[in-house]
Structure 1
Amino acid sequence: MNTAGKITSFTAALAVSFGAAYGLGNTVGPLDGTEPAPQADHMNSAASEGGGDGNEHAQSPPGGLQISEGGYTLDLFTPRLKAEQEGELRFAVRDRSGKAVTTYQREHDKELHLILASRDLATYQHLHPTRAADGTWSTPVTLAAAGDYRVFADFTPGAKNAPDLTLGADLAVAGAYKPAELPKPSRTATVDGYTVTLNGTLRPGTAGDLRLDVSRGGRPITDLQPYLAAYGHLVALRAGDLAYLHVHPNGEPGDGSTEPGPEVSFTATAPSSGTYRLFLDFKHNGTVRTAAFTVHAGAAAASPQPAEPTTEHEDGGHGH
């Protein structure tokens, strides 16, 4: 499926996906430190299992919260790693018969996108592992902090009419563990001297645009580079259960209308309230960077404070 078609399907599917999103007002309005509400959804999954705000659409379970869905199972061969030591993460996706899947549809130049996130949302990596002929995937990974992690495999099997899936499994990282506090909600994030400003509206049950503007030293960046057929990628994870949302941008490089910055826009719908961590990947001057935000939906506005994300970005294995 081409990128433009995929974006259209995402926009429609998001109306019944993800569970508790983040509220941003017309210029990123309500952002506060309220405790997260439970349950969220994935882009092709639907809403909430466990309290929301009454806008949930009870269909599929939230994305990334299940190890099996749609007849496919994530088989994680490496359930444990050691902090501060490089290890190899290995896994396979199995079909109903138990056979490892060996054919996938390519989405944004990759067959499978792999996300690693710590339960406290202080650590985030987006990787693209290598698939062997027998269907086994592997990638080197180093995680600086010990603790509980979630592994997300985002893919579409190659079978005809196969669903878009995000399957999740737990990963334990051994070492001295001290959970981090979630950064306060903010409409801005900084990374490597770049400032990313988040604008737009994301409300339960209603499609809204999220616009992220990239600048450096007060000057807009107008020469973002294509990275896997897009100028930016956005992943959102809900605090509390790490329900997963992966949103592709509106437009694509070379379509005649999408500019290479400073704005990267997305369309998404969130059917319930909650606190989320957003991770935007963008490429400039040959380097992929990740800007991270904490946002909250469904509460009164509060004065936002700049977030200082502690995001790990593994460009060597990251293909998103």
Structure 2
Amino acid sequence: MSTPLRVAAFVAALAAAFALAWGGGRVVGPIDTETVAHEGATAHGGAGSATESHGGHDSAVADASGLTARADGFTLVLAERTPAAGRTRLDFQVLTSSGRPLLDYTRQHEKDLHLVVVRRDLTGFQHVHPTLDRATGTWSVDVRLTAGVWRVIADFTPESWDGITLADDVAVAGDFSPRALPSDDRSATVETPEGTYAVTLEGDTAPGASTVLTTRVELDGRPVTDLEPYLGAFGHLVAIRAGDLGYLHVHPEEGAPGPGIDFATGFPTPGTYRLFLDFQHRGVVHTAAFTVESGGAPGSTDEPDDEHAGGGDHDH
């Protein structure tokens, strides 16, 4: 082959290699990069979430968040990773991409930051609200921990950003006996000195579909119609996926003060979810817990049709 032909062949091969590398780079994508929320956004949907139309409930369902301690340029830093059992104080900071503590937040449900602390077997749930020392950028709150590994989930909205959920684990020394979750259980009782609250959960829990879940509260068999506002709503619902402890954003909808409380959400994947309802009545905040098995086709409930079930009512 002559020299000009060799040069032409080399140039052609080089161009082909460059094109292949460019195409491969576009398919594979960059490595070790983060998705960054756009400034100016105001939706409280969490990192990587999709905007939902709560009226039609037919838009994309947001992925579970709170799977890492670092996302969208923000990092959750716990001061103590092995706290003592019993009543203890949690201190932590939320750092920006520059390494400085985040000080400016957009208030959601009357608080700048909501902290959920739950043991990895999904027991011991606590929804608390730390206080911020603006001089050091450190949040602090007292919690009660038993032996085991606990997930610390911080839900907040930086000023002019989307909502962010970050989470990390702390390990508490001692004898640990994990508790098995009950099977799909959509009723709960809360015993109090004033009586027994019976709380039920209804709604479509199929994966991949936006839905409205309705909780209903009764006290000693009578519907509760005088629920009190708690953090700006008549109830707050937290949903956590068993296994990876993915955190779902659940939005309370406006309505009457009981007995029903509606929440807009969606279950992104099949699996077991633990749901915790906080409601306030007669000046006291109570928590009811449910277990949901999400499975089947989107928009279905895994229930047989009446004509195939021999008629009659069936549970939702």
TM score, norm. by length of structure 1:
0.73
Q: Which amino acid aligns with 2:85?
A: A
**Residue 246 of structure 1: how far off its partner (Å):** 2.9
**Residue 216 of structure 1: how far off its partner (Å):** 1.1
Q: Is the 8 A contact 2:251 2:265 kept in 1?
A: no
**Residue 12 of structure 1: how far off its partner (Å):** 4.2
Per-residue CA distance 1:221-246 (angstroms, 9 max, x = gap): 00000001000001011111100013
- Distance in 2 (alpha carbons) for counterparts of 1:290 and 1:10: 28
- Distance in 2 (alpha carbons) for counterparts of 1:269 and 1:114: 21
Corresponding residue of 2:108: 107
Per-residue CA distance 1:53-84 (angstroms, 9 max, x = gap): xxxxxxxxxx1111111110001112111222
- Distance in 1 (alpha carbons) for counterparts of 2:140 and 2:96: 18
Against the structure 1 CA distance between its residues 123 and 301, is the aligned structure 2 distance closer, same or farther, given a 3 Å change threshold? Answer: farther
Tell me whether 1:15 sits opposite 2:15 in the alignment.
Answer: no
After superposition, where does 1:118-197 map in structure 2 within 5 Å?
118-133=119-134, 134-143=136-145, 145-158=146-159, 160=160, 162-192=161-191, 193-197=196-200
Between the aligned residues of both structures, percent identity stands at 48
RMSD: 2.1
- Distance in 2 (alpha carbons) for counterparts of 1:218 and 1:156: 39
**Residue 183 of structure 1: how far off its partner (Å):** 1.8
Corresponding residue of 2:29: none
Per-residue CA distance 1:162-204 (angstroms, 9 max, x = gap): 1211000111111111111112221211112101111111222
Q: Which amino acid aligns with 2:62?
A: S
Against the structure 1 CA distance between its residues 206 and 228, is the aligned structure 2 distance closer, same or farther, given a 3 Å change threshold? Answer: same
Larger radius of gyration: 2
**Residue 271 of structure 1: how far off its partner (Å):** 2.7
Residue 231 of structure 1: which of 201, 213, 234 is its match?
234
Tell me whether 1:285 sits opposite 2:313 in the alignment.
Answer: no
- Distance in 2 (alpha carbons) for counterparts of 1:115 and 1:238: 14
Residue 214 of structure 1: which of 188, 199, 217 is its match?
217
SS across alignment from 1:123:
coil
Tell me whether 1:241 sits opposite 2:238 in the alignment.
Answer: no
Residue 267 of structure 1: which of 264, 282, 289 is its match?
264
- Distance in 2 (alpha carbons) for counterparts of 1:270 and 1:100: 33
SS across alignment from 1:81:
coil
SS across alignment from 2:83:
strand
Gaps (5+ residues) in structure 1?
19-40, 42-62, 252-257, 303-320
- Structure with greater proportional helix content: 2
**Residue 15 of structure 1: how far off its partner (Å):** 2.9
Q: Is the 8 A contact 1:214 1:263 kept in 2?
A: yes
Question: When the two structures are aligned, how many residues end up with a matched partner?
Answer: 245
Q: Which amino acid aligns with 2:186?
A: R
Per-residue CA distance 1:266-305 (angstroms, 9 max, x = gap): 1222232100100000000000000001110115569xxx
SS across alignment from 2:245:
coil
Q: Is the 8 A contact 2:61 2:209 kept in 1?
A: no
- Distance in 2 (alpha carbons) for counterparts of 1:301 and 1:172: 40
Q: Which amino acid aligns with 2:275?
A: L
TM score, norm. by length of structure 2:
0.73
Q: Which amino acid aligns with 1:180?
A: R
- Distance in 2 (alpha carbons) for counterparts of 1:180 and 1:229: 33
Gaps (5+ residues) in structure 2?
1-42, 297-301, 305-316
Q: Is the 8 A contact 1:76 1:91 kept in 2?
A: yes
Q: Which amino acid aligns with 1:274?
A: G
- Distance in 2 (alpha carbons) for counterparts of 1:228 and 1:198: 21
**Residue 16 of structure 1: how far off its partner (Å):** 3.2
- Distance in 1 (alpha carbons) for counterparts of 2:101 and 2:93: 6
SS across alignment from 2:103:
coil
**Residue 11 of structure 1: how far off its partner (Å):** 3.7
Q: Is the 8 A contact 1:15 1:268 kept in 2?
A: no
Q: Is the 8 A contact 1:11 1:267 kept in 2?
A: no
**Residue 208 of structure 1: how far off its partner (Å):** 1.4
Residue 77 of structure 2: which of 75, 78, 94 is its match?
75
Corresponding residue of 1:28: none
